[in-house]
Amino acid sequence: MSEVKTTKYLNPYVGGVLLGLVLLTANFVSGRGLGASGAIKSAVVTTVKTVMPSHAENSAFYNEYNESHPGNPMKSWLVFEMLGVLIGGFLSGAFAKRLKFKVEHSPKITSKRRIMFAVLGGILFGFGSQLGRGCTSGSALSGMAVLSVGGFITMAFIFGTAFALAYFFRKNWI
């Protein structure tokens, strides 16, 4: 008789409440909401400033960013938040014994194709977050938490676009 191995995950409703409490705590402690794209932007600005200082000095984007964020961009609240997310995710996976180096995908596609779609999706989402002046966490969750109409519109478009495109990309996961 073989044992069926089941993976236990956090109840999504409990996870949603915990995410709301984290968002509330972030607003209370730091005076701002959550967000990931700001941390990526800080890392990019710091990298370009280090690797190509003359380009950073002659670019309106980098000058504007440096003027609006005096000091070291890597000391931003969002950079520390994202480091905490990465470390917390790693520790959570380690404690739950789910920390494995593998690519999960449908039997209908290869690992290479799954990685290619994940990278492409990440690039498009990052580009979209810059056009929308923030990522899902910053624009949608934090915006909705302060009852911003823009936050609700952002969330509607995120879910609407996902719903509209799910049919075309479902074979990559199912």
Would the pLDDT of 140 be above 90?
A: no
- CB half-sphere exposure, 125, CA atoms < 13 A: 16
Which residue do the tokens 């977050």 mark?
Answer: 129
pLDDT in tens, 145-157: 888 898 898 889 8
Mean pLDDT, residues 23-35: 83
End-to-end distance of the chain based on CA atoms, in angstroms? 29
Residues in CB range of 111: below 8 A, 6 or more apart: 103, 105
**pLDDT at res. 103:** 84
Would the pLDDT of 125 be above 90?
A: no
**pLDDT at res. 134:** 75
pLDDT in tens, 88-116: 989 988 888 888 888 887 788 888 988 99
pTM over 0.85? The answer is no
Q: d(Cα 70, Cα 117) in Å, to the nearest integer?
A: 37
**pLDDT at res. 174:** 66
Would the pLDDT of 82 be above 80?
A: yes
